[in-house]
C-alpha cells in the first residue's frame, strides 16, 4: 500500500536532480589543494622580493674584526683612594648629536673624549667615483653590538647616516634625498678622520 502511495506522490514531489558531472571534476576533499599551491607560489615571490631588497644593501665590508671590550673602553679609577672602577672612557671615534650635553661627572659612566668626537665624514660615491665631506646625522648600526650603537661609537664596518642634500640626489618620485647610509671603511681612531662608502 505504501509503495502505491509513494508512486502517486512522486508525480507532485520535487526531487534534487544530480548535475551532470564534468570531465576532470574534483571531489570536495581535493578542492583546497589548488589554494595551497597558489599560496606556495605567493610565498616564493615574497621571498624573492625580500632577497632583492636585501641585495640592495650589500655592504662593502660584510665581515669585520670584532673589537674586545678591553680595547674599546679604558677603565677609570675614581674616588679619593682611586678604588672605584665603574667609569669607562671610550677609546674609539664617536659621534654625539649637535644638542649633546654631558651628564655631571659624578654620574657619567661612559666618557666620550672631545678629541675623538667626529661630526663629518669623507664619503665616497661608488658610481660617481667622487668623495664628499658630509655631515654625519647618526650612527645607525655598529657591528660590535647595540651598546656601541647607542653610544655612537664608530669602528670599521659601522653603518652611519650622512646628510647628502648637497649632492642633489633625487628619488624616482622627484623628491630630494636628505639622508643616506654609508659604511665606515677605515679605523677612524688611527687615521684621525672617517672614510666611508655610500650604500646605493
Output Rg (C-alpha) for the chain, integer angstroms: 33
Residue 15 has pLDDT above 70, yes or no: no
Q: 55-83 pLDDT, tens per residue?
A: 656 788 989 999 999 999 999 999 999 99
**Mean pLDDT in the chain?**
86
pLDDT at 177: 87
DSSP summary character for residue 62:
S
Look up the pTM and report it.
0.70
Helix (H) or strand (E) holding 130: strand 130-141
Are the CB atoms for 105 and 76 separated by under 8 Å? no
pLDDT at 28: 77
| 123-156 pLDDT per residue, tens | 999 999 999 999 999 999 999 999 999 999 999 9
Residue-level pLDDT at 13: 56
Helix (H, G, I), strand (E, B), or coil: what is residue 139? Answer: strand
pLDDT of 20: 65
Does the structure show a pLDDT above 80 at 17?
A: no
Q: Are the beta carbons of 122 and 196 closer than 8 angstroms?
A: yes
Q: Decide: helix, strand or coil at residue 137.
A: strand
Q: Is the pLDDT of residue 52 over 80?
A: no
Confidence of residue 26 (pLDDT cuts 50, 70, 90): confident
Do 148 and 155 contact (CB within 8 A), yes or no? yes
Amino acid at each position: 500500500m505504501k509503495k502505491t502511495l509513494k508512486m502517486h506522490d512522486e508525480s507532485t514531489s520535487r526531487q534534487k536532480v544530480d548535475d551532470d558531472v564534468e570531465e576532470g571534476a574534483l571531489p570536495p576533499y581535493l578542492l583546497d589543494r589548488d589554494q595551497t599551491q597558489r599560496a606556495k607560489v605567493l610565498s616564493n615571490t615574497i621571498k624573492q622580493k625580500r632577497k632583492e631588497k636585501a641585495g640592495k644593501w650589500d655592504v662593502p665590508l660584510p665581515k669585520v674584526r670584532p673589537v674586545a671590550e678591553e680595547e674599546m673602553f679604558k677603565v677609570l679609577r675614581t674616588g679619593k683612594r682611586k678604588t672605584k672602577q665603574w667609569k669607562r672612557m671610550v677609546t674609539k671615534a664617536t659621534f654625539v648629536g649637535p644638542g649633546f650635553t654631558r651628564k655631571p661627572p659624578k654620574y657619567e659612566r661612559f666618557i666620550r673624549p672631545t678629541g675623538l668626537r667626529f661630526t663629518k665624514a669623507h664619503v665616497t660615491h661608488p658610481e660617481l667615483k667622487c668623495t664628499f665631506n658630509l655631515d654625519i646625522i647618526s650612527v645607525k648600526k655598529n657591528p660590535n653590538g647595540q651598546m656601541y650603537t647607542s653610544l655612537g661609537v664608530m669602528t670599521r664596518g659601522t653603518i652611519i647616516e650622512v646628510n647628502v642634500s648637497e649632492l642633489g640626489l633625487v628619488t624616482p618620485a622627484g623628491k630630494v634625498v636628505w639622508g643616506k647610509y654609508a659604511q665606515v671603511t677605515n679605523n677612524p681612531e688611527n687615521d684621525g678622520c672617517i672614510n666611508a662608502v655610500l650604500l646605493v
